[in-house]
Amino acid sequence: MRVAELRSAEPEQQKRPYPDWLLVASRSGDLELTPGEDAGAHGTPGTASPPEMARHESCCALFDGILYNRDEVERRLRVSVSTDAELIVEAYLRWGESALRELKGTFALVIGDRKGERVVCARDQLGIYPLFYAKAGGELLLSTSIEVMLRDPRISGQVNRAALADHLAYRWPDPGETYFSAIRRVPSAHALVATRAGDRCSRYWSPVGGDGKIEWLSEDELGEFDELLQNAVARFLAQGQAGIYLSGGLDSVSVAAMAASVSREQDLPAPWALSLGFSHPAANEQALQRQVAADLGMPQLMIPLEKAAGGQGLLTAALELNGRSPAPMLNMWLPAYNHLAAEGRKRGVGVILTGHGGDEWLSVTPYYAADLLFSRDLIGFFRLFDNLRRSYPIPAHKILGSVLWRFGTRPLLSYAASRIAPGFMDARRRRRVVRGLPAWVAPDPELRRELAARAPASLPERAEPGQIYRAEMNEALDHALVAIELEEAFETGRSVGVRFGFPFWDAELLSFLYRTPPELLNRGGRSKGLVREMLSRRFPELGFERHRKVTGGPVVRDMLLEEGRSAWRRMGGVEALAQLGVVDGPAAQTLVMKLLGERKVPENLARLHRVWDILALEAWARAHA
């Protein structure tokens, strides 16, 4: 297999943590960079280098991140430059805004076009780097850090009440908004262009190219998968000593196996296997984790979850960390993983690779059932059901009921009804989403009216039968939760002082997986067939060809039941959220006490998860409101 040619980072770049910066951009195209405080303010060892800036008589550019294809772009432009920012200027002068489609990497960039009197702000194709902006008079203030932006007196720190309330309703209607009213994000693969006449934000990249038509891969082309994964992993290994968040799951093990192989081929130090050890019998994969690390020749750091969470318990640690986060935390495991990352850094780890993205792009959404029923492919429908039954620890009758009704028949009936009575069905959908707001959320009448007006925007576009699978893939690209999750990882790296690498969020690999037909993703009769085949060859004795997904759900359930009451007592209610009008305090307390007081453990983890939702949002609001 061919390994991508990579420009090795300079030693100081390998160790450089994410820098703090604030950029002031006028709509006439002038850029003024204000370096932030030393990265040590975030607990990061060492001093942060500022992002690159380059200036030309007609335009200037800021570039923060890593460019994968600098050599290729230099050859096409027939130039030789000293920095990536200089290359951005040259590319923009030659190609204009189309230059964004030629760049490969993880980055945030801003181009000030003085001649055209515009500012072009862009985030990488998959949003690995964040980019936030706020308007102050006729200027834009931009940064990769909400915390840095809030230090500027021109930017209001008022929290976005509607976003907080919708968060509790599991709705994120505006992919550009943040939890602060004055601050917005540039979505992944989008460019914000600001001029004196106004602003526009549009997509510059798609996994299938400009025409939007999918050219599905053939089975003969599947051999490219290993090479693309290898290249994606190699890009991160070139950034310095690597570690792998190694669980016993297919995604992280496949990344670890590829990282070990690339390290040997390129004579790089073996990556560290960084593992959390779960003692809960439903989630204990320690033996498998140790066996994989040993077989790959990787030094391993295994830390029990209880130790990584600290003596106060995981829930308490998560709530404390949540108060310091620029957005309400999604990942309650974060304190434990932060401890693991910090211990890895002590051992020289500068970049940590994870299997994040594997669930989204190696698996087939169960909504594919609707397309199969529409095309009367009953054999394909049965294969999908059997695949899910063999891949997930869920009773077969529940899987069958879900794929037959929720993911299969109901979307088809809903679409058919919308064709017969479009006005009635649209109104019905709007009423349902408005009624879906929990009664204890938004007792303030003004806020409730605002949420009702926002609610329809949270509804996904109604996809035509035969296109429902593709609509779900697009949702995985564009949903606000995806951006928030990646921004959370970026902030974690900023605080700990490591970079995070997500090979399954590599643009080239993702484009390949996007165009892989569901039947080929599921080949072998189980989900994630592409990596199962690779792992069964690499670890024939470990049974990855029969592996079922292990989730942390039982651990979360037991943790909330064990720690929830004491955490609620320490919190003393939801005073901050109640003052904001986001929740009804007594009603929220009644709900929490009911969930924590049930003698029978709730079968539906989503119900019990409400305890975390409320506690976490209250901890965040107290620190930021």
Per-residue model confidence as pLDDT tens digits over 365-374: 999 999 999 9
Name the percent of the chain lying above pLDDT 70: 94
Q: 148: number of CA atoms within 13 Å, CB side?
A: 27
| Burial classification of residue 374, based on how many CB atoms lie within 10 Å of its CB (0-12 exposed, 13-18 middle, 19 or more buried) | middle
Inter-CA distances, 267 with 1, 43, 120, 239, 260, Å: 16, 32, 40, 14, 10
462 CB-near residues (< 8 Å, 6+ apart): 414, 415, 418
Higher pLDDT, 67 or 19: 67
> How would residue 481 be classed by pLDDT, with cut points 50, 70 and 90?
very high
Do 273 and 295 form a contact (C-beta atoms < 8 A)?
A: no
Which of 25-39, 119-133, 241-255, 586-600 has the lowest average pLDDT? 25-39
CA 372 to chain centre: 29
Q: Residue 601 above 80 pLDDT?
A: no
Higher pLDDT, 17 or 70: 70
Query: Looking at residue 597, what is its pLDDT?
Result: 83
Query: Looking at residue 2, what is its pLDDT?
Result: 36
Query: Looking at residue 431, what is its pLDDT?
Result: 87
136-159 mean pLDDT:
95
Query: Looking at residue 599, what is its pLDDT?
Result: 58
513-530 mean pLDDT:
95
Q: Residue 14 above 70 pLDDT?
A: no
pLDDT tens digits, 546-578: 888 888 888 998 999 999 999 999 999 999 999
Q: Across-strand partners of 140?
A: 25, 135
Query: Looking at residue 48, what is its pLDDT?
Result: 55
> How would residue 32 be classed by pLDDT, with cut points 50, 70 and 90?
very high
Q: Residue 7 above 70 pLDDT?
A: no
Query: Looking at residue 17, what is its pLDDT?
Result: 58
Distance CA 528, CA 325 (A): 33
Q: In whole numbers, what is the pLDDT of the chain averaged over residues?
A: 91
Query: Looking at residue 6, what is its pLDDT?
Result: 38
Query: Looking at residue 5, what is its pLDDT?
Result: 36
344 CB-near residues (< 8 Å, 6+ apart): 243, 272, 274, 301, 352, 498
Q: Residue 584 above 70 pLDDT?
A: yes
Query: Looking at residue 604, what is its pLDDT?
Result: 66
pLDDT tens digits, 35-57: 765 433 333 334 457 899 999 99
| Dihedrals phi, psi of 279, to nearest 5 degrees | -90, -15
**Where are the chain's structural domains?**
11-203, 553-624
Query: Looking at residue 38, what is its pLDDT?
Result: 43
Do 81 and 90 form a contact (C-beta atoms < 8 A)?
A: yes
Residue 440 DSSP label? T
Inter-CA distances, 299 with 242, 279, 302, 558, Å: 11, 21, 10, 31
Q: Looking at the domain 11-203, which fold is it? A: Glutamine Phosphoribosylpyrophosphate, subunit 1, domain 1 (3.60.20)
Q: Residue 443 above 80 pLDDT?
A: yes
74-92 mean pLDDT:
96
Query: Looking at residue 602, what is its pLDDT?
Result: 53
CA torsion through residues 564, 357, 254, 342, sign: negative
218-235 mean pLDDT:
96
Query: Looking at residue 54, what is its pLDDT?
Result: 96
